[in-house]
Amino acid sequence: MKYVKSAFLALACMATAAPVIAADADLGPRPLFLVDQMEEGALKSQLLACSGQPMERKLFSIGHRGAPLMFPEHTVESYTAAARMGAGILECDVTFTKDKELVCRHAQNDLHTTTNILKSPLASKCTTGFSPASGDNNATAECRASDITLAEFRTLDGKMDAADKKARTVDDYVNGTASWRTDLYAASAGRLMTHAESIALFRDLGAKFTPELKSPSVEMPFEGFSQEDYAQKLIDEYKAAGIPPSDVWAQSFNLDDVLYWIENEPEFGKQAVFLDSRYNLDGFDPMKPATFEPSMESLKGMGVNYIAPPMWMLVTVEDGRIVPSAYAEEAKKADLNIITWTLERSGPLGAGGGWYYQSIKEVTDSDGAMFELLHVLAQDVGIEGIFSDWPATVTYYANCMGLD
């Protein structure tokens, strides 16, 4: 599937020119930088052989909040960058404002780290205002989308998701971007989006859709707005835009949301994705199927067709090699489609890779491990797609391996 030559963004809150999308994906230097870090072998040779070939958009490549490795997440700029890097599916994490309008935010209570709200007149409306660090106490703040109306939300600018917990001033607090990310592309202020606007933008960029219904920070029902109303409104905005259900992979960590879609919106429910956070449960072990509750077979029996755990749950190490975990094997045995998260979210991998690589830390000693893990996930686990904070890496791999 080739890119269209241009996309026309017609959003009520914007009067800027439409983003331009080239015919081929523009992947930049990072994929080959990562290949250079790999040990010599067949996989490295195969990836190097793709150098210089045209790269196309791939559904296997999913833009996680856009391209937040370098762009403010859930902004026009971040989504456009992800599309230019060949992401065939883009994600709007969905939450709601005080007047119950759906907007793209990773969490209902993240405005203090992802926008300029603390430096705006709306700071006084935050659930908890800024409190500076003092002694052993970290700096704190909490600003929710539900603290403000949609009209007020539109006045904010996006920034890199970060906060300096040792800050004594608001200026220092909002300038906590990790050293392996950058504020370079946030300098001109990221443009925030409603969920409906993201649908229009993604469609014009030629991408498909994977909205995630986020857990509310407020108690539900919220002023008469129930969890079911919330789940239904997400689907209604795709129906209003005329988007085919086959182009939408609605996600939630809340199994009840997924089951609601399966029962009440069965066409959308066919591709509803259960984001699996059972790693938080006492006793859960991805290598011990007896700890899976509900079982993979039970999930399939409920009508769930897609499951999405973090990467580390799908793999383990045997004899110094990355191999599929029991979790991965049980999911495939139950005929569940697997999507996983999140590549390019861990910074440099020389020290083991952190949370996303915890099950393979003993063989994670350089950035080259990124492609090695991706290869096992694609070829041995058989994932359908993977979220990435920098989709160029996945797009390059998918093109080299002939994936959709």
* Lookup result for tokens 């026009």: 76
Residue 187 confidence (pLDDT): 83
Contact (Cβ atoms closer than 8 angstroms) between residue 118 and residue 141: yes
Helix axis angle, 195-205 to 76-84, nearest 10°: 20
Q: Which residues in the chain land under pLDDT 70? A: 1-18, 20-23
* Burial classification of residue 10, based on how many CB atoms lie within 10 Å of its CB (0-12 exposed, 13-18 middle, 19 or more buried): exposed
The two three-digit tokens of residue 359, written as one number: 């099950």
**pLDDT at position 113:** 98
Q: What structural domains and CATH numbers belong to the chain? A: 30-92+193-400 (3.20.20.190), 108-186 (no CATH)
To the question of pTM greater than 0.85 for the whole model, the response is: yes
AA identity, residue 22: A
Q: Give the pLDDT of residue 204.
A: 97
Q: How far is CA 280 from the centre of its chain?
A: 19
Q: Would you state the pLDDT for residue 118?
A: 98
Tens digits of residue pLDDT in 210-245: 999 999 999 999 999 999 999 999 999 999 999 999
**Cβ neighbours for 398, distance < 8 A, ≥ 6 positions apart:** 58, 60, 61, 86, 378, 404
Segment 259-299, tens digit of pLDDT: 999 999 999 999 999 999 999 999 999 999 999 999 999 99
| Predicted local distance difference test score (pLDDT) of residue 22 | 63
Please, is 43 exposed, middle or buried when counting C-beta atoms within 10 Å of its C-beta (0-12, 13-18, 19+)? buried
Position 132 scores a pLDDT of 97
pLDDT of res. 189: 75
381 torsion bin: left (phi>0), alpha (psi -120 to 50), beta (else): alpha
Count the neighbouring beta carbons within 10 Å of the beta carbon of residue 51: 11
